[in-house]
A and B are shown apart, each in its own frame.
Chain A
Amino acid sequence: MAQQQKESVITPEMKKWIGVEGPPTIYEVEKGAIRKFCIAVGDTNPLYLDEEYAKKTKYGGIIAPLGFFGTPVSSGAFGQQPYEVSLKRVLNGGTEYEYIKPVRPGDTIISTRKITDFQERDGRLGRTLYTSSETIYRNQRGEVVAIGRGTTINY
């Protein structure tokens, strides 16, 4: 017997946004914000916190831990969507960071995000939408410092 097909939550309006780069988000990387981030993680590595210590390392000064690109942190998972999603509950599905250059206090990080894919499944939480996105982080010199890939789950 043919199973009744549920209506797809992936609308034609949503599909139009695949591959479209969103407006840039600009973050300033402040030493104090790095410190707050490290305290929240419970990471006391002096490379992120102690200028005198960090000066003696190969970096020559404080760097931000991988995953910190200024505040507020864009995880690539909870960015503003330009479209309506019928499933209102949101979870972070996963994250990948590729670290290309160190992020330092005083840097300005410009990030741009685009949706790369939509998938839907019937899972443990009922009908579930998986939205994949890619975020490119550049510094004030236009150098790509990192690439983030994330999956957002709507259920």
Chain B
Amino acid sequence: MAKQVYYEDVTEGMELPQLVKHPMPRQLVQWAGATGDYNEFHYNETFAKVRSNLPGIIVHGALVCQFVRQMVSDWVGDEGTLKKLNVSYRGMNFPEQDCICKGKVVKKQVQGDDHLVELEVWSENPKGEKTTPGTAVAILPSRAKK
């Protein structure tokens, strides 16, 4: 695991380490099995094109949401806590392409005992389009409290 990040280490505008995923159709099938979302346009090309009027099979929005969640969880570490994650599915991610998860710190503030950071998070497709923009709130450990 990466080194634990502390509230004091964080500055507004700071970028989170990005997480690059490259989901293959196999991973979409694994996700379908793990979650019970068997919507066919995630693994049946003909169904996606003919029935759903899509360019091809698409990555589950909820899976992209988990990619973004993983990026934030990895960053906050075991001592941090992810409190809130919000994403909108604005664009589609297609399998066999990079899905790049990015984030940056928008605001940091102490609220009661909690050292909070507000983040802007999103995923990008290879064209650089934000497919899944969102926000997150996390509590980070503080060196002062140690």
Q: How far is the CB of B31 from chain A (nearest CB, A)?
A: 4
**A78: which B residues are within 8 A, CB to CB?**
37, 39
A126 nearest CB neighbor, chain B only: B53
A22 at interface by CB-CB < 8 Å: no
A99 at interface by CB-CB < 8 Å: yes
Q: Is the pair B63, A41 in contact by a Cβ cutoff of 8 Å? A: yes
Contacts known (A75-B62, A99-B84); A91 close to B89, Cβ less than 8 A: yes
Render A38-70 as a binary contact track against B, CB cut-off 8 A, 1 for contact: 011111011100000000011000000111000
Contacts known (A33-B34, A45-B74); A65 close to B69, Cβ less than 8 A: yes
Interface residues of B in 58-109 (CB under 8 A from A): 60-63, 65-67, 69-70, 73-74, 78-79, 81-89
A67 to B67, CA, bound (A): 11
Pick from A66, A93, A149: contact of B89, CB below 8 A. A93
A42 to B27, CA, bound (A): 9
Count of A-B contacts judged by CB separation below 8 Å: 107
A89 at interface by CB-CB < 8 Å: yes
Q: Is the pair A73, B36 in contact by a Cβ cutoff of 8 Å? A: yes
Q: Is the pair A96, B85 in contact by a Cβ cutoff of 8 Å? A: yes
Q: Is the pair A97, B84 in contact by a Cβ cutoff of 8 Å? A: yes
Q: Is the pair B84, A41 in contact by a Cβ cutoff of 8 Å? A: no
A143 at interface by CB-CB < 8 Å: no
**A106: which B residues are within 8 A, CB to CB?**
none
B128 at interface by CB-CB < 8 Å: no
Q: How far is the CB of B103 from chain A (nearest CB, A)?
A: 15
A77 to B63, CA, bound (A): 13
Q: Is the pair B73, A57 in contact by a Cβ cutoff of 8 Å? A: no
**A39: which B residues are within 8 A, CB to CB?**
30, 34
B115 at interface by CB-CB < 8 Å: no
**A36: which B residues are within 8 A, CB to CB?**
30, 33-34
Task: Name A residues whose Cβ lies closer than 8 Å to a Cβ of B.
Answer: 33, 36-37, 39-43, 45-47, 57-58, 65-67, 71-73, 75, 77-78, 89-99, 125, 149, 151
Given A67-B62, A89-B51, 16 more contacts at CB 8 Å?
A33-B34, A36-B33, A37-B34, A39-B30, A40-B33, A42-B27, A43-B66, A65-B70, A66-B85, A77-B61, A90-B39, A95-B87, A96-B86, A96-B87, A97-B86, A151-B88
24 pairs, CB–CB < 8 Å, chain A vs chain B? A39-B34, A40-B31, A41-B66, A43-B66, A45-B1, A46-B1, A65-B66, A65-B70, A72-B35, A72-B37, A73-B36, A75-B62, A77-B61, A77-B62, A78-B39, A89-B52, A92-B62, A94-B87, A95-B86, A95-B87, A96-B85, A97-B86, A99-B81, A99-B85
